[in-house]
Homo-oligomer: A and B are copies of this chain.
Amino acid sequence: MKNVDQNTITQAVLERMGQMPDARLKTIMTSLVQHLHDFARDVALSEKELMQAIQFLTRTGQTCDDKRQEFILLSDVLGLSMLTVAMNNQKPAGCTEATVFGPFFVEDAPKVALGGDVAQGAPGKPCTVSGRIVGTQGQSVGHAQIEVWQADEEGFYDVQRPDLSASQARGSLQGDGDGRFHFKTIVAQAYPIPTDGPVGDLLRATGRHP
């Protein structure tokens, strides 16, 4: 690209993308190029830092496999996942906010009767969970579907245990007509995110605890 400088390059790139057939893609790419360039100008990105970023993103892609998605982890750590969920699931005041879905949800979890055992042998301290589902005006939400999936006392989900042949600490319940529910399970432990990849390096470099 000739005769461009740090201020004219942004427009030059956008003009090259002028013929974009997909209007939504054009909106996204135009904004992406502008924000990406503004970021690089803001921090006066050095050539060495750009190469470090390229190497980081390459390692991130190459850490992904059929069981691990390191770019989702990066998106989570940068708050992009939560921001996207919040934008797309805006709730009225007083309503429980939406959150990221988490990596270990499974469709068609075993049906569990109200008061039944969700743990199904998962290791951990037994407990009972109960509650009531209400609307923003305090009214009952009857017969709501409740999905439970949790880590055991070792911080593992059932799908992380290749030796298991059936679900554990996972179940699908339905609340009663008054929105009330209760079930037996084990106390869930926080599950550690994988920190042996590039995002783990980033967390350590930025002084954050996984």
Contact = CB atoms under 8 A, between A and B. Distances in A.
Given A25-B206, A41-B87, A61 B57 contact: yes
Given A13-B79, A36-B80, A60 B57 contact: yes
A43 B31 CA distance: 7
A156 interface: no
Contacts of A41: 83, 87
Contact of A32 (B39, B64, B97, B99): B39
A173 to B, nearest CB: 23
Nearest to A44: B87
A5 interface: yes
A47 interface: yes
Interface in A36-52: 36-47, 49-50
Given A72-B54, A84-B50, A10 B79 contact: yes
A129 interface: no
A9 interface: yes
A10, A61, A85, A90: residue with the most chain B Cβ atoms closer than 10 Å: A61
A137 interface: no
B12 A205 contact: no
Contacts of A146: none
Contacts of A97: 2-5
Interface of A: 1-6, 9-10, 12-13, 16-22, 25-29, 31-33, 35-47, 49-50, 54, 57-62, 64, 69-72, 75, 78-88, 90, 97, 99, 205-208
Given A35-B42, A41-B83, 16 more contacts: A2-B99, A3-B97, A4-B86, A6-B87, A6-B90, A9-B83, A17-B208, A21-B207, A25-B206, A36-B78, A40-B80, A41-B87, A46-B84, A47-B85, A47-B88, A61-B64
